[in-house]
Amino acid sequence: MDKAKDSSPKPPTSGAELIAAYVKTLSGKPGVYRMFDETGTLLYVGKAKNLKKRVTAYTKYERHPIRIRRMIRATTNMEFVTTDSETEALLLEASLIKRLKPRYNILLRDDKSFPYILMRTDHPAAQLMKHRGKRSKKGDYYGPFASAQAVNRTLDTLQRAFRLRTCSDSVYDARTRPCMLYQIKRCSAPCTGAISLTDYAQLNRDASDFLSGRSEALRTKMQRQMGEASKALAFEKAAEIRDRLQAMAFVSSGKTHVSPSTFMEADIAAIHLDGGQACVQVFFFRAGQNWGSNTYFPRHSKDADAPSILDAFLAQFYLGKPIPKQVFVNQDLPNKQLLEAALSERKDGRFRILKPQRGEKADIVELARRNASEALARKMAETASQNKLLRGIAEVFDLDTPPERIEVYDNSHIQGTNSVGAFIVAGVEGFLKREYRTFNIKDTTTTPGDDYAMMREVMRRRFSRLMKDNTQVWPDLVLIDGGKGQLSVVSETLEELGVLERTTLVAIAKGPDRNAGRESFHMIGRPDFTLAPRTPVLYYLQRLRDEAHRFAIGTHRAKRKKQMHQNPLDAIEGIGPGRKKALLTYFGSAKSVGVASLEDLTRVEGVSRKLARTIHEHFNE
């Protein structure tokens, strides 16, 4: 007798049916949802005022464009977080997108912290300096500036205008006569008394007024002082004030030669969309001055419109950054009110998003849009050339599609010392320098100088991490600087990890006599081959190999230089800063400590006989 077949329906494992099963358990609260594929890779992060209603929309499969259908089909798991409000959901969504970089979201790239100018107030003579990162030093911070270049330019003109010191406290304390900056009229030399601390403090207050937006009142005062000096026939003093006024005028003009008169503080964010790509140009105006601009190229789908891209860009852009009073844009944003509410909450003050229609503000927004248009045109020209090279690489290495991510590996050491491994990353946008990585060789069983063992360790650590972290992008092509031996070691390592099939391996061996242009290429299951000399693809592969070599060598040299500057006493257990100072004061140098007798070592204050024996044995093994 045949057994009755189980007729109960199987639970859905992917697609719209799986999403529909999730909908049954969802509430109508605001929150954030995440969609994952079968490998656990995050596909999409979304927010909703009503989770149940928003996620239900994905079950209407036929109503979505092809890109979203592809995402729905790939979805095998979803996660949900409810929030107290839609503004909280917006901020959480932006934070997750920025950190996890899902494949189907609009993504802000090339994001980094902005530099500031710091006026230190914890010293009698205030120091003017560039600052980036946590605000742990006591003083007044001015910014943000668009780039380090914008800060350097402003610092340079501030030195000419106000002659404030930029040297460190240790340099300041050690001066016995004015330095070169005093001679070229970039510093007033408070370190040697060339200016009294009272007069220097006035220069500090003038600079603070200028950076805080009180520049017009300061100019009026200085112009009056210049006139008074001229009447008193103090022409040198009048010329000095004139030079300060000229320097102030220069820094106010900024890179765009725009000095607004209708607002003091704002960011300008204008987007230009062309050929399925977008560029956002951001201008920074603080204290009525232009403090530089930055260009961004958000990642998005080709069918995304400009308002949606700019909306998502702003939500991510102001995460972890100071928020201005207002932002002027060139699009009507779909989530304008929600963004204003969320960022006002973060700022703990009123924040507005405005689209000016006429006047000075509209002119500046249009200037930013034109800058975005020109930057996008340049990028598209560069991308077209890069795409052509990647298509050539796909043809050379028999890839199904042009590689989107190429990782190139190399090792560096000197006779086995300070060994490092490194890889660089390249893709459609050229070299992705923020994704370069290095590895200090940690395996103590590795024979110094064993390149094969070093490569094995680097590959094991790199791809083990990729297997654990689903947010990272896998390389489509892995290039190895080496020959058959390196290729064999790498393929064995990846096979042990079970990921050999997930990428394509190619080893680049240098030609006879290490001649560039005569490299041979090695691939698994394919005879060795060379490329015709002077072809664009060969030149590009040489550039990739040379960039990896440059990066590995640079990392190795930095590590070696750091080791050379380390004191031998740092390696001895039981010697802290106090005992180290006592030893160096008594003997004069670490070398003298190394040749000292046991009895001499015990004479140093704080050094017991046991510690003296440890020190002696360390240098006399």
Residue indicated by tokens 């001679």: 183
The tokens for 524 are 């698994």
CB distance 293 to 284 below 8 Å: yes
Q: Please report which residue ranges of 232-325 form alpha helices under DSSP H.
A: 235-253, 306-317
Handedness of CA 460, 462, 465, 466 (dihedral sign): negative
In tens, the pLDDT along 289-322 reads: 778 888 899 988 888 899 999 999 999 888 877 8
| Domain residue spans of the chain | 15-100, 116-253, 266-378, 405-563, 568-619
**CATH fit for domain 568-619, picks 1.10.150.20, 3.30.230.10, 1.10.760.10, 1.10.1040.10:** 1.10.150.20
Spatial separation of the C-alpha atoms in residues 115 and 132, rounded to whole Å = 5
Instruction: List phi, psi (to 5°) of 195.
Output: -135, 140
CA separation (Å) from 165 to 50, 152, 239, 259? Answer: 57, 14, 21, 27
DSSP reduced 3-state for 481: strand
Q: Would you tell me how many other CB atoms lie within 10 Å of the CB of residue 316? A: 21
According to CATH, the topology of domain 15-100 is GIY-YIG endonuclease (3.40.1440)
Alpha-carbon gap, residue 587 to 292, rounded angstroms: 53
Q: Dihedral sign, CA of 592, 595, 596, 598?
A: positive
Q: How far apart are CA 95 and CA 407, in angstroms?
A: 27
Distance CA 128, CA 524 (A): 58
Spatial contact of 267 and 285, defined as CB atoms under 8 Å apart: yes
Of residues 456, 365, 414, the one with CA closest to residue 564: 414
Tell me whether the CATH fold assigned to 15-100 matches the one assigned to 405-563. Answer: no
Q: pLDDT at position 3, please?
A: 47
Low-confidence ranges of the chain (pLDDT < 50): 1-4, 254-257
Helix, strand, coil percentages (3-state) for the chain, rounded to 5, are 45, 20, 35
Specify the amino acid at residue 534: R
Instruction: Give Rg (Cα) of the chain.
Output: 31
Q: Which CATH class for the 405-563 domain?
A: alpha beta
Q: What distance in Å separates the CA atoms of residue 248 and residue 156, rounded to the nearest whole number? A: 11
9: preceding bond cis by omega (within 30 degrees): no
Distances (CA, A) of 431 to 273, 547, 605, 607: 23, 9, 55, 53
> What is the SS3 assignment for 206-236?
HHHHHHCCCHHHHHHHHHHHHHHHHHCCCHH
Q: Torsion-angle region of residue 420: left (phi > 0), alpha (psi -120 to 50) or beta?
A: beta
Residue with the two structure tokens 């795409």:
387
**Rounded distance, CA 353 to CA 328, Å?**
6
pTM of the full structure: 0.66
Residues 6+ apart with CB under 8 A from 402: 387, 390, 391, 393, 394
Output the six-digit token pair for 50.
Answer: 């009503």
Cα distance between residue 83 and residue 79, in whole Å = 13
| Residue 368 near residue 343, CB atoms below 8 Å | no
Can you read off the two tokens belonging to residue 463?
């791809």
410 three-class SS? strand
How far apart (Å, rounded) are the C-alpha atoms in residues 548 and 479? 10
* pLDDT score at 11: 64
Q: pLDDT tens for residues 466-509?
A: 888 776 788 999 999 888 889 999 999 999 999 998 899 999 98
pLDDT of residue 522: 93
Rounded Cα distance between 369 and 282, Å, is: 9
Residue that is written with structure tokens 């290495």 in the block: 397
Q: Which CATH class is domain 266-378?
A: alpha beta
Write the DSSP symbol of residue 109: -
Q: Is 441 exposed, middle or buried (0-12, 13-18, 19+ CB in 10 A)?
A: buried
Closest CA to 407 of 471, 458, 441: 458
Tokens read off for 199: 């007069």
